[in-house]
Structure 1
């Protein structure tokens, strides 16, 4: 299989996984999803400090899934198709380091769903988002019914999914779907500024923090608190903990590994 739909770009130790199907508004088909899986794993193997999920061109982040492909799927084929999307979302959700969805332009259906699996979502001021699957007779199939309520609340998620709303970036921010809206002309500089800020934090502590926060969605409160207690204690035998606390007491900037 030729790999032409997804590319990886590096900026220092920040990796961008870029969906590049500009003529299709970066819509996702089978080969693109499989490439995304491979490229996400590749950046993890190469020890990226931060992963950025982006779309090529000026019109879309990821406009959704390939409806032409989905139209004639059987139920068993649709389940396999769903598995592909879930696999990519899980790789983003479980990525060892922070992930940022850089939403510039359209992010509908599966595009919104993959952004939900990222740690942080930022949007340009011309972004449009929505779980629009109801308009073609289906429901979100890559995690939207589960992750969206956790992010925007139960009733708001129901409204978005039931009505198939398309919302602008400011509305998305008001609902907690994105954390920041940036003027289009400043979007890339702010994106990399945020990524560099994260990359300069102590990496093992960031990784541990992400694992602990993810536990809040996967376990009971009691189990999550127990995990946090163990994770917190484990950091007290690391270079970055010693350096961070020493630097604080010496009133200087820390030099993390």
Structure 2
């Protein structure tokens, strides 16, 4: 287990669990959190984990936005540096080689919502609350949240949430497609681990390639993306995992465990 000032990381088999750990500040982002999350993620890029879960400590907050006390006296240059650092973390999450599940265990406000949006899959507890309060504080989302929110739930609903600063609960977040599933608080981590284990049980190379193709296609027109899968699809045929799984399917026998080779 890795323990830093504001985060913890532990590995459970092929599953990684990264926890934002500032419970007294409701896990709010500050420069130290942003830096430590980035350093931790970078250290995991070439490891053998097959899925990563990101959550917040305690039962009240996933990440309750950015730390306003720290932001209060930033000048424009400092604000730009903070935004660039936050964007770097979100980009690293989005482009991370393995799928990332956000286990949203409470308030996901502002930067917390942006963090969740940068993950591949979002699973919320029943007490989760989402909002973008920035324009009510005289700023805008600074970590890429406006763009990601519009892509995930549609531009109209994204504009509504950002312009009004309205909060939505977990049930409404599920309805608009902001989250994939909602569970009671006490079941949240187990359900996320269950999904992570399912992901990790599949061919690691194929899962990584699939994530890359999906992400890359999001920046393309549909007709431009038609051939995007050809090279990665054919590259999968070089793996021993592919040969083993297809042989098992044809022979009607159980598959061996995937090795990632």
Query: For residue 99 of structure 2, what is the aligned residue in structure 1?
Result: 98
Cα displacement (A) at 1:219 = 3.1
> Unaligned stretches of 5+ in structure 2?
none
Instruction: After superposition, give the CA deviation of every residue in 1:46-98 in whole Å (9 maximum; x if it has no partner).
Output: 22111111101111100010111111222221111101110110110010001
> What CA distance in whole angstroms lies between the structure 1 residues aligned with 2:157 and 2:254?
42
- 1:159-174 matches, within 5 Å, as 159-174=160-175
Q: Is the 8 A contact 1:113 1:142 kept in 2?
A: yes
- 1:28-177 matches, within 5 Å, as 28-177=29-178
Cα displacement (A) at 1:222 = 4.3
Instruction: After superposition, give the CA deviation of every residue in 1:135-155 in whole Å (9 maximum; x if it has no partner).
Output: 211111101111001000010
SS at match of 2:226: helix
Instruction: After superposition, give the CA deviation of every residue in 1:118-175 in whole Å (9 maximum; x if it has no partner).
Output: 0000001111111121221111110111100100001000001101111110100000
> What CA distance in whole angstroms lies between the structure 2 residues aligned with 1:223 and 1:69?
44
Query: For residue 211 of structure 2, what is the aligned residue in structure 1?
Result: 210
| Number of residue-to-residue matches in the alignment | 256
Q: CA RMSD in A?
A: 1.3
> Unaligned stretches of 5+ in structure 1?
none
Regions of 4+ moved over 6 Å: none
> What CA distance in whole angstroms lies between the structure 1 residues aligned with 2:64 and 2:22?
10
SS at match of 1:204: helix
Q: Is the 8 A contact 2:132 2:162 kept in 1?
A: yes
> What CA distance in whole angstroms lies between the structure 1 residues aligned with 2:7 and 2:149?
25
> What CA distance in whole angstroms lies between the structure 2 residues aligned with 1:75 and 1:216?
34
Instruction: After superposition, give the CA deviation of every residue in 1:196-222 in whole Å (9 maximum; x if it has no partner).
Output: 111111000000000000012223434
Query: For residue 222 of structure 2, what is the aligned residue in structure 1?
Result: 221
Cα displacement (A) at 1:223 = 4.2
Instruction: After superposition, give the CA deviation of every residue in 1:186-245 in whole Å (9 maximum; x if it has no partner).
Output: 112111111111111100000000000001222343443322111111111211211121
Cα displacement (A) at 1:185 = 2.0
